[in-house]
Amino acid sequence: MRAIAVDIDGTITDSSRKLCISALRALRGAERKGIPVIIVTGNVLCFAMAASVLIGTSGDVVAENGGVIYSDGGIRVLGDIEKAETAYNHLREIHPVRKVQFSDLRLSEVAITREIPVQAIREALEGFDVEVYDTGFAVHLTDPEVNKGSSLKLVAESMGIEMSDVMAIGDSENDIEFLERAGFSVAVANADPELREMADYVTAREYGDGVREAIHKFAGVDI
């Protein structure tokens, strides 16, 4: 394994989005061993970059479910926010939806709070050119042309790393394409059933403790 790609919310953070110390230590241990960590998240890029700096990850960064990447020292917007805004404007006429915090900073997709059942959102947006992801933290309306998996591939290529050499770790449905594309996939114990079903390995422990478990077991990092 030459890199670890890791989701943020529900994977290295707990159910209230607080960073798990166990994950922090494991990710730093991987970096010390020369295994770069790539953050792959639905959060906005500046949030993901701050997480990268504070944790100490040296890999590039995938944000907004693949709609934005930080790669080769530059920012690239890959998703078309117009598709998401068109869908959101329609949704607003039907349901009292609200965007999540920091939405002004989103460059490629729209994320809304989870007050309306996701099934109702999917029904209202049938025929619109957006992917709807319920991450357990927000509902994202994302350009279907991009996802965490396709953008991770771009980032890994620019780092000179094959996808077959990447271990991916995630927790929810926005991680499916991301785990599918990686050479080895891990779902933390608290992950969505669908993700646990398709992952190569499901950790015994939840959240950051699961991340530590996988990094210890498969990357040989002593923590």
Annotated binding residue 129: no
Nearer to ligand PGA, 134 or 160 (CB): 134
CA separation for the pair 161, 181 (Å, rounded): 13
Interface with ligand PGA (CB under 6 A), residue from 30, 38, 41, 221: 41
Quote the least distance from Cβ 42 to ligand PGA, whole Å. Answer: 3
DSSP H or E stretch at residue 184: strand 184-187
Answer with the entry of Mg ion, ligand PGA, none that 203 interacts with (C-beta below 5 to 8 A by kind): none
Q: Which residue in the list 7, 60, 192, 209 is annotated as catalytic? A: 7
Contacts of 216 (CB under 8 A, 6+ apart): 26, 222, 223
DSSP H or E stretch at residue 124: helix 118-124
Annotated binding residue 171: yes
Nearer to ligand PGA, 137 or 184 (CB): 137
Nearer to Mg ion, 88 or 133 (CB): 133
Question: Do 218 and 3 meet the contact criterion of CB atoms below 8 Å apart?
Answer: no
Instruction: Tell me if 108 contacts ligand PGA by CB under 6 A.
Output: no
Instruction: Tell me if 10 contacts ligand PGA by CB under 6 A.
Output: yes
Instruction: Work out the angle between the directed axes of helices 21-32 and 207-219 (0-180°, nearest 10).
Output: 20
143 three-class SS: coil
Instruction: Work out the angle between the directed axes of helices 45-55 and 21-32 (0-180°, nearest 10).
Output: 70
Quote the least distance from Cβ 41 to ligand PGA, whole Å. Answer: 3
Find where tokens 């917007």 sit. Answer: 77
Residue of 179, 108, 185, 170 lying closest to 140 (CA atoms): 108
Look up 129 and say whether it is catalytic: no
Interface with ligand PGA (CB under 6 A), residue from 4, 5, 7, 182: 7
DSSP H or E stretch at residue 170: strand 166-170
Instruction: Tell me if 42 contacts ligand PGA by CB under 6 A.
Output: yes
Annotated binding residue 192: no
Residue 196, phi then psi, degrees to nearest 5: -65, -35
Annotated binding residue 175: yes
DSSP H or E stretch at residue 131: strand 131-134
Residue nearest to Mg ion (CB): 10
- The piece of 7-15, 120-128, 160-168, 187-195 that touches ligand PGA (CB under 6 A) is 7-15
Which residues form the interface with ligand PGA (CB under 6 A)?
7-10, 41-43, 135, 137-138, 174
Catalytic positions are 7
Residues contributing to the annotated binding site for substrate: 148
Chain contacts with Mg ion (rule: CB under 5 A): 7, 9-10, 171-172
